[in-house]
């Protein structure tokens, strides 16, 4: 069946960002057609997109509403299908079919409503409960988060001295051996924030779009702190800590490990933005991310 819709223009504009994106977008319509034929699907609405790929509404052979997700191949997305298989729909969207070689997933269709429209502390309580559902025992098929984090911290060590307050760098580097000492305890989502939780039918809220790592559950909190940033107002430190403790209260996770991971992730963010600038002046968007990250690390000093 031929895709009867045009790809979203804002999505196709990413062809200009790299040769890999241009190649992915060129083959995407044919790939969608091939997958719908192989999995006996019918197109059921115009496609949408996210940061990591295209999502097309489809109907299965027995008329179940589903979505076909065709991801842009990237290292961080390699664990998505494995994580969804391990979760088995427990607190997360159900995976009905997967073709990892082509970065393709067939998923149950959820409502587009996400947690951005819910009171932020209520949303934190919901996500804290979801942690308990998705933090299942991991598998060796998932990338060990410690391997990635060790590589990221090499970038932190290379930061210019004026990029971030030195005490935050020291705190992150001194916490790392303690955080890395234990074997991976759970399947970690890796980027669980308000837009990655959608309203479902089987359960009120369900997780989508995992990175899928094997690691420490305490790693999860940071994206809930630095998203919905404008709502923090003139006293971001207090608001960040309120979110932090709402997540802890609902999840029962270890406070010190969660705090340390937030600082590590905030400092790694700074390193990534400086690496992305590659010696050029930072853009306004990059400076805004630096502000969020450093402010988040600073808020943890009073935890």
- The confidence score (pLDDT) of residue 129 equals 98
pLDDT higher than 90, residue 262: yes
pLDDT, residue 65, reads 97
pLDDT, residue 107, reads: 98
pLDDT for residue 73: 82
Q: CA-to-CA distance for 258 and 303, rounded, in angstroms?
A: 10
Tell me the mean pLDDT in the region 297-303: 96
Q: Which residues are known catalytic residues? A: 191
Cβ neighbours of residue 37 under 8 Å, at least 6 residues apart? 1
Q: How does residue 21 score in pLDDT terms, banded at 50, 70 and 90?
A: confident
At 212 the pLDDT is 96
Distance, CA of 224 to CA of 245 (rounded, Å): 11
| Confidence tier at 69 by pLDDT (50, 70, 90) | very high
* Domains in the chain: ranges and CATH: 9-108 (3.30.200.20), 115-302 (3.90.1200)
Its pTM stands at 0.94
Q: What is the pLDDT of residues 74-111, one digit of tens each?
A: 777 789 999 999 999 999 999 999 999 999 999 999 99
Whether residue 189 contacts residue 205, with contact meaning beta carbons closer than 8 Å, is answered with: no
Residue 13, pLDDT score: 86
For range 31-50, the mean pLDDT? 94
Q: Extract the tokens encoding 268.
A: 């790694």
Angstrom distance (rounded) from CA 289 to CA 195:
18
Q: What is the mean pLDDT of residues 201-214?
A: 96
Q: How confident is the model at residue 196 (pLDDT cuts 50, 70, 90)?
A: very high
The pLDDT, as a whole number, for residue 148 is: 95
What is the mean pLDDT of the segment spanning 57-75? 93
Transcribe 25-70 into DSSP letters: HHHHHHHHHHHHHHTT-EE-S--EEETTEEEEEEE-TT--EEEEEE
Banded pLDDT at 156 (limits 50, 70, 90): very high
Instruction: Please name the residues in contact with 227: beta carbons below 8 A apart, sequence gap of 6 or more.
Output: 193, 194, 195
């Amino acid at each position: 069946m031929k895709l009867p819709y045009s790809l979203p223009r804002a999505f196709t504009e990413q062809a200009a960002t790299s040769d890999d994106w241009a190649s992915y977008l060129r083959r995407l319509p044919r790939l969608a057609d091939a997958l719908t034929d192989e999995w006996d699907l019918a197109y059921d609405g115009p496609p949408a997109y996210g940061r990591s790929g295209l999502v097309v509404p489809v109907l299965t052979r027995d008329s179940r509403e589903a979505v076909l997700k065709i991801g842009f191949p990237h290292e961080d997305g390699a664990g998505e299908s494995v994580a969804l298989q391990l979760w088995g729909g427990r607190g997360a969207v159900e995976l009905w079919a997967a073709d990892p070689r082509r970065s393709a997933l067939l998923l149950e269709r959820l409502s587009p409503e996400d947690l951005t429209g819910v009171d932020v502390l209520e949303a934190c309580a919901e996500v804290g409960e979801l942690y308990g559902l998705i933090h299942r025992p991991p598998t060796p098929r998932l990338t060990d988060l410690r391997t990635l984090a060790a590589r990221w911290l090499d970038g932190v060590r290379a930061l210019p001295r004026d990029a971030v307050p030195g005490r935050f760098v020291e705190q992150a580097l001194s916490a790392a051996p303690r955080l890395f000492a234990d074997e991976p305890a759970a399947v970690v989502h890796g980027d669980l924030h308000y837009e990655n939780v959608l309203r479902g039918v089987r359960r009120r809220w369900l997780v989508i779009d995992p990175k899928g790592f094997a690691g420490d559950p305490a790693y999860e909190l940071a994206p809930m702190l630095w998203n919905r940033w404008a709502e923090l107002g003139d006293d971001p430190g207090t608001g960040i800590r309120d979110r932090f403790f709402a997540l802890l209260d609902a999840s029962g996770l270890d406070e010190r490990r969660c705090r340390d991971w937030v600082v590590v992730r905030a400092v790694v963010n700074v390193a990534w933005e400086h690496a992305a600038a590659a010696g050029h002046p930072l853009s306004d968007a990059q400076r805004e991310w630096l502000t969020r990250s450093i402010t988040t690390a600073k808020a943890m000093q009073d935890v």
